[in-house]
Structure formats: C-alpha cells, structure tokens
Amino acid sequence: GAGVSQSPRYKVAKRGQDVALRCDPISGHVSLFWYQQALGQGPEFLTYFQNEAQLDKSGLPSDRFFAERPEGSVSTLKIQRTQQEDSAVYLCASSLRLSNEQFFGPGTRLTVL
C-alpha cells in the first residue's frame, strides 16, 4: 500500500472489554513500532518488532497490553480488560531496516467509557 494503515480508526469500549487494534505497515518494512499518545502529549513508545520478533516491549504499561506480528507483516495490539486510563490514540509506525525515518499511520483513537 501507499502508507501505513490502521484499523479501526475509532474504537469505543466499555470498561473491562478487550480490544484489538490492527496495523498494516508499508510493504517490505522490517521494523514496526507501536506508540501511545495521550491527549495533548507527544507519543510514547510501547513496543518494537523486527520482522516477527518482538525485540523491545519495555513501554507496555501493564500485562494487559499484548502485541504480536506473527508473520512479520501485519501487527495487532491487544488490550485486555480496558481501563479508562487506556483512552488514547494508538499509533503504529514502520521503517526500513537500518533506516531512521519512521512512517506513521493515522492512529486508532480508543475511548474507554
């Protein structure tokens, strides 16, 4: 595709529900990142994949957050038992291996009621 795509663009969940957010990176991009952006703040790193390997998950806020990229392409960020503090925009980015420029998707705005 032309760029990074994310779905859904908007998600409203009731507290306690599980959600799954999808990221389709640019074809051929080896590196994939997830970031969380709270309202009025800059994005904060959650986790990083190189192909299918999750090399860093130090930014995941709790064990309710889980990310996977089983075939080294599409990635899913799953949040279990959502809480109100999980409300944020979740951004996905991809980059070519050894390239420093990251290409961001439009994000998924998650609202937990």
Partner 1 sequence: SQQGEEDPQALSIQEGENATMNCSYKTSINNLQWYRQNSGRGLVHLILIRSNEREKHSGRLRVTLDTSKKSSSLLITASRAADTASYFCATASNTGFQKLVFGTGTRLLVSP
Alpha carbon 7 to chain centroid, angstroms? 10
Residue 31 in the binding site for partner 1 (CB under 8 A): yes
Smallest separation, CB 86 to partner 1 (Å) = 18
- The 10 Å Cβ neighbour count of residue 27 is 9
Please pick, from the candidates 8, 12, 55, 62, the single residue that binds partner 1 as defined by CB under 8 A. Answer: 55
Residue 36 in the binding site for partner 1 (CB under 8 A): no
Residue 63 in the binding site for partner 1 (CB under 8 A): no
Please give the structure tokens belonging to residue 59. 């930014």
Phi, psi for 3 (deg, rounded to 5)? -155, -175
Residue 48 in the binding site for partner 1 (CB under 8 A): yes
Residue 85 in the binding site for partner 1 (CB under 8 A): no
Q: Where are the beta strands (DSSP E) in the chain?
A: 5-7, 10-13, 19-24, 31-37, 44-50, 53-56, 65-68, 75-79, 88-95, 103-104, 108-112
Residue 91 in the binding site for partner 1 (CB under 8 A): yes
Residues of the shown chain interacting with partner 1 in the complex, contacts defined by CB under 8 A: 4, 31, 33, 35, 41-45, 48, 50, 55-56, 91, 93, 95, 99-107, 109
